[in-house]
Chains A and B, each alone.
Chain A
Amino acid sequence: MERIFTMPEAMKPEQTLYCPGCGHGIIHRLVAELVDEFGIRDRTIGIAPVGCSVFADKYWNFDVISAAHGRAPAVATGMKRGRPDSFVICYQGDGDLAAIGTAETIHAANRGEHFVTVFVNNAIYGMTGGQMAPTTLVGQRSMTCQLGRDPAIMGYPIRVCELLKDLPGVAFMARGSVDSPKNVLKTKKYLKKAYSNVLEGKGYSFVEIVSTCPTNWGMTPVKALEWLRENMLEHYELGVFRDCDAEA
């Protein structure tokens, strides 16, 4: 019998402890598959951020460091500059990347640091139990906006790609989603481009991935995918925002 589903070598044979229907599991896997496809497991360093994916080291079968909340881009900068032959994957949630770590993110992008950022946008703080994230949609309820996000008091959900894309240091920037097999494949394509850019020394490469948190959205996994499609994709348009190759 032909085996069609195998575990990537860059993934440990562990069952993830994420909630059913959580996007982190799929995205971990995409990240790992590409590490294998490029054959770079021995020199890859992943960053486990502060957020639900703080446990990434349990699942990725390559070197992993845990950074303080929001400081992953600075830690990535230090590692890549200190060891230029390493391949660094800066994995971050929306609270981590776009709230507490906004400054580190902008400046790493602006310096054109040579690492890949994987930005998991689930519009909520998953780990801490469902507070408003910088990407929480207008009207969306959370533990700290119990009547729904009100832009007059809490501002608007940040579109990170649109915000960063014009920084000269950025070589590649795209937004994908994990709501359907088709979009998962497309997201993998974006990630692949980001990896190859960094491996070819082209510069900072960033992929945002619109994802789910059924637990804190208070939905079943199926309903969460529907909600993502119907609400998030309208505010967070999918596509490529910057591609230095296309411009050349």
Chain B
Amino acid sequence: MVSKIRCAGFGGQGIVLMGKLLAQAGMMEDKHTTFFPQYGAAMRGGTANCSVVVSDDAIASPMAQEPDVVLIMNGPSLDKFEPAVRPGGWIFYNTSLIDREVERDDVEVFKVAANELADEVGSTRSANMVMLGAFAGKLGTVSVEALLGSLDVMLTGKGDKIMNLNREAMKRGAALAE
């Protein structure tokens, strides 16, 4: 099984961190995994996206050009990546910042009010964690436990308060899928 995931949003939403956490979680579950950021001058203009591949076998290209799953945090990113998803793939999107419907009818859609749920937990900045939790809870590509574990590795040195916020946000997202 191979799963190609694309995370996208605007700079400041923690898109790169989302990708790293996914890859870290995949590694902790002894899967093959790669993380590949969009890099260089393309970063100008405030959008961010990255690719993660999680697989039982060796991974060819780490670039998810035709992703199985996209985790979309803002409107422009939905416009950009909706057409790219593989038919039959999944679009998870942040309805807090996107008020349109997905137009394609050959993909599965999962709506996440990421900002609002993050607000309930205590900080809008954890919206990315809500999205990750929802993805893991729904599809199980990586487990919610592994994602929680990856937080400890990737965010070492952050205070308890931030760690707890992120954990709670992730669990809140995962609960959506139940």
The distance from the CB of B47 to the nearest CB of chain A, in whole angstroms, is 12
The distance from the CB of A16 to the nearest CB of chain B, in whole angstroms, is 11
The interface residues of chain A lying within 8 Å CB-to-CB of B43 are 129
Q: Does B44 contact A (CB under 8 A)?
A: yes
The interface residues of chain B lying within 8 Å CB-to-CB of A127 are 41
User: Which of the residues A17, A52, A129 comes within 8 Å of B45, measured between beta carbons?
Assistant: A17
Q: Does A102 contact B (CB under 8 A)?
A: no
Q: Does A19 contact B (CB under 8 A)?
A: yes
Q: Does A215 contact B (CB under 8 A)?
A: yes
Give chain A's interface secondary structure class.
Answer: loop
* Interface flags, B10-49, vs A, CB<8A=1, else 0: 0000000000000000000000000000001101110000
Distance, CA A215 to CA B40, complexed state (A):
13
Whether B40 pairs with A17 at a CB distance below 8 angstroms is no
Whether B40 pairs with A19 at a CB distance below 8 angstroms is no
How many chain B residues sit at the interface, stated as a range, is under 10
Which chain A residues (44-96) contact chain B, with CB distance < 8 Å? 52
The interface residues of chain B lying within 8 Å CB-to-CB of A129 are 40, 43
The distance from the CB of B88 to the nearest CB of chain A, in whole angstroms, is 36
Chain A contributes a number of interface residues (CB within 8 A of B) equal to 7
B40, B43, B44, B45: most-surrounded residue (chain A CB, <10 A): B44
The distance from the CB of B43 to the nearest CB of chain A, in whole angstroms, is 8
Distance, CA A19 to CA B45, complexed state (A):
7
Give chain B's interface secondary structure class.
Answer: helix
* Interface flags, A207-237, vs B, CB<8A=1, else 0: 0000000010000000000000000000000
The distance from the CB of A149 to the nearest CB of chain B, in whole angstroms, is 24
Distance, CA A18 to CA B41, complexed state (A):
10
Distance, CA A127 to CA B41, complexed state (A):
6
The interface residues of chain A lying within 8 Å CB-to-CB of B41 are 52, 127
Distance, CA A171 to CA B41, complexed state (A):
36
The distance from the CB of A143 to the nearest CB of chain B, in whole angstroms, is 13
Distance, CA A181 to CA B45, complexed state (A):
25
The distance from the CB of B50 to the nearest CB of chain A, in whole angstroms, is 16
Which chain A residues (122-148) contact chain B, with CB distance < 8 Å? 127, 129
Distance, CA A148 to CA B45, complexed state (A):
27
The distance from the CB of B42 to the nearest CB of chain A, in whole angstroms, is 11
The distance from the CB of A25 to the nearest CB of chain B, in whole angstroms, is 13
Distance, CA A129 to CA B42, complexed state (A):
11
Q: Closest chain B residue to A55 by CB distance?
A: B41
Distance, CA A52 to CA B43, complexed state (A):
12
The distance from the CB of A17 to the nearest CB of chain B, in whole angstroms, is 6
Distance, CA A181 to CA B171, complexed state (A):
51
The distance from the CB of B39 to the nearest CB of chain A, in whole angstroms, is 9
Distance, CA A129 to CA B41, complexed state (A):
8
Distance, CA A17 to CA B44, complexed state (A):
8
Which chain B residues (54-91) contact chain A, with CB distance < 8 Å? none
* Interface flags, A5-47, vs B, CB<8A=1, else 0: 0000000000001110000000000000000000000000000
The distance from the CB of B92 to the nearest CB of chain A, in whole angstroms, is 29
The interface residues of chain B lying within 8 Å CB-to-CB of A19 are 44
The interface residues of chain B lying within 8 Å CB-to-CB of A18 are 44
Which chain B residues (135-160) contact chain A, with CB distance < 8 Å? none
The distance from the CB of A53 to the nearest CB of chain B, in whole angstroms, is 12
The interface residues of chain A lying within 8 Å CB-to-CB of B44 are 17-19, 215
Some 8 contacts from A to B, beta carbons below 8 A apart, are A17-B44, A17-B45, A18-B44, A19-B44, A52-B41, A129-B40, A129-B43, A215-B44
Q: Kindly list the 8 A-B residue pairs having the minimum CB-CB distance in the complex, ordered from nearest.
A: A19-B44, A127-B41, A17-B45, A17-B44, A215-B44, A129-B40, A18-B44, A129-B43
